[in-house]
Structure 1
Amino acid sequence: MHLFYQPHENLFELDEEEAKHSSKVLRLGSGDIIYVTNGKGLLQKCILNVQARKVGYEVVESSLIPRRNFEVVIAVAPTRKAERNEWMVEKLTEIGVERIDFLVSEHTNPETLNRVVNQVRLNRIAASAMKQSQQYYMPVITVNNKFDTFIKDASEDSRLIAYVPEQNKVEHVFSRVRKNSSTLLLIGPEGDFSNREVELALEQGFSTVSLGPTRLRTETAAIAGCHAINLAQGLS
């Protein structure tokens, strides 16, 4: 199935990048069948109509794909390298995530934040990953979330923070997931969350969880946590 992304459901035309992909890579032409999603659950079966560089389509079937009965939210302090943040967004989207929130914590360098977190580019990467993994909902990506404000406003059913105190054992995130509910997992920056931030999170109802016996990079931790939550939700 050839899946394309068009956020404007009444436009009936692929954007320049999507049009080029359809003709140059997939070698599709007028009369071929494609599928188009708006990233909000709408799935349209369409017939292509190619006119020079303009690639339009006619909708022949339309349906709304229901959301899954649980939500995964990953709130993560960005790494210092843009490519690692981009790779992380791509993989989180492929695994399945409803929202990705980039946090500004005490150990986040504010001077590099705008350089390593480009929301326009991250949305484009998420759209590509959504299509690649045959999904119909785009994750919402937010940036510049101040840690203190963010955790005070959190309302998910399960609120977890990946943090293991020295010489202390905590449960793996897998065992703290509640079925058919929303789960928020906080992932710290290089150098981890500060003691004050951890204490504040606990005061706001967050629970500490482990991601396994080894120390993980920020982007690896986010992906491992996302996968564990999805796996826990998928098992009966």
Structure 2
Amino acid sequence: MHLFYQPNKNLYELDEEETRHSSKVLRLNSGDIIHVTDGKGLLQKCVLNMHKNKAGYEVIGSEMIPRRSFAVHIAIAPTRKAERNEWMVEKMTEIGVERIDFLITEHTNPETLNRVVNLNRLNRIAAAAMKQSQQFYLPEITVNNKYDSFIRSRQEDVKLIAYVPDQNTVEHVFSKVRKDSSTSLLIGPEGDFSEKEIAFAMENGFSTVSLGPTRLRTETAAIAGCHAINLAQILN
């Protein structure tokens, strides 16, 4: 399936980047069949119409793809390098994630966040990953979330924070996931959450969980957690 992204379901034309990909990379021509999604579950079967530097299409069939019976939300303090945040968003989108929130914690410099988290670029990366992995829902990405207000607002069925106290063991995230439920997982910054932040999360219904026996980088932890939640939904 040649899948393209057009958020405006009434436009019937691919944007410049998608047009270039269809003609230069995929070598598609007028009359070829493509599929187009708006990133909100709509899947359209279309006939391509190439004209000069434009790629229009005629819709010949459409359907709404239902959302999954569960939802994965990852909230994370960004790393200090933009490329790691971008790689993380790409891979979590491929695995399956409904929402990604970047948090401002005690160990997060807001100025650094603005430098290493570009929302427009992250949305483009997520859209490309959505298409590559043959999905039809674009994850919602938010930035500049203040920790306390974010924690208070969470309404997921299962609320988890990745944290293992010294000389202590906690259950792996896999064992905490409930079938067909929404799960929110918090991932801390380099230097981890502060004791105050951990206590505040637990006061607001979050449970501490482990991501395994080794110490993971922030972006690795996010991907490992995302994968574990998705896998638990399949195997539980």
TM-score by length of 2: 0.99
Match of 1:7 in 2: 7
Determine helix, strand or coil for the equivalent of 2:8: coil
Match of 2:137 in 1: 137
How far apart are 1:117 and its partner, in Å?
0.3
Unmatched 5+ residue regions in structure 2?
none
Match of 2:92 in 1: 92
How far apart are 1:48 and its partner, in Å?
0.4
Match of 2:77 in 1: 77
How far apart are 1:5 and its partner, in Å?
0.1
Match of 1:58 in 2: 58
How far apart, in 1, do the equivalents of 2:86 and 2:97 lie? 15
Unmatched 5+ residue regions in structure 1?
none
Q: Partner amino acid for 2:61?
A: E
How far apart are 1:110 and its partner, in Å?
1.4
Q: Partner amino acid for 2:124?
A: R
Q: Partner amino acid for 1:92?
A: M
1:234 aligns with 2:225: no
How far apart, in 1, do the equivalents of 2:94 and 2:104 lie? 25
How far apart, in 2, do the equivalents of 1:110 and 1:55 lie? 41
Q: Could you give the per-residue CA deviations for residues 103-124 of structure 1, whole angstroms, max 9, x where no partner exists?
A: 0000001121111000000000
How many residues in Structure 1 have an aligned counterpart in Structure 2? 236
How far apart are 1:235 and its partner, in Å?
1.3
How far apart are 1:157 and its partner, in Å?
0.3
Q: Could you give the per-residue CA deviations for residues 108-166 of structure 1, whole angstroms, max 9, x where no partner exists?
A: 01121111000000000000000000000000000000011100111100000000000
How far apart are 1:13 and its partner, in Å?
0.0
Match of 2:125 in 1: 125
Match of 2:175 in 1: 175
Match of 2:111 in 1: 111
Match of 2:27 in 1: 27
TM-score by length of 1: 0.99
Q: Partner amino acid for 1:47?
A: V
How far apart, in 2, do the equivalents of 1:218 and 1:95 lie? 17
Determine helix, strand or coil for the equivalent of 2:167: coil
How far apart, in 2, do the equivalents of 1:147 and 1:215 lie? 23
How far apart, in 2, do the equivalents of 1:154 and 1:43 lie? 30
How far apart, in 2, do the equivalents of 1:188 and 1:126 lie? 22
How far apart are 1:189 and its partner, in Å?
0.2
Give the fraction of aligned pairs with identical amino acids, expressed as a percent.
Answer: 78
Q: Partner amino acid for 2:54?
A: K
Q: Partner amino acid for 1:46?
A: C
Q: Runs of 4 or more off by more than 4 Å in structure 1?
A: none
How far apart, in 1, do the equivalents of 2:65 and 2:155 lie? 25
Give me the CA root mean square deviation. Answer: 0.5
Q: Partner amino acid for 2:5?
A: Y
Determine helix, strand or coil for the equivalent of 2:211: coil
Match of 2:151 in 1: 151
How far apart, in 2, do the equivalents of 1:112 and 1:75 lie? 17
Match of 1:202 in 2: 202
Q: Could you give the per-residue CA deviations for residues 167-189 of structure 1, whole angstroms, max 9, x where no partner exists?
A: 01000000000110000000000
Match of 1:220 in 2: 220
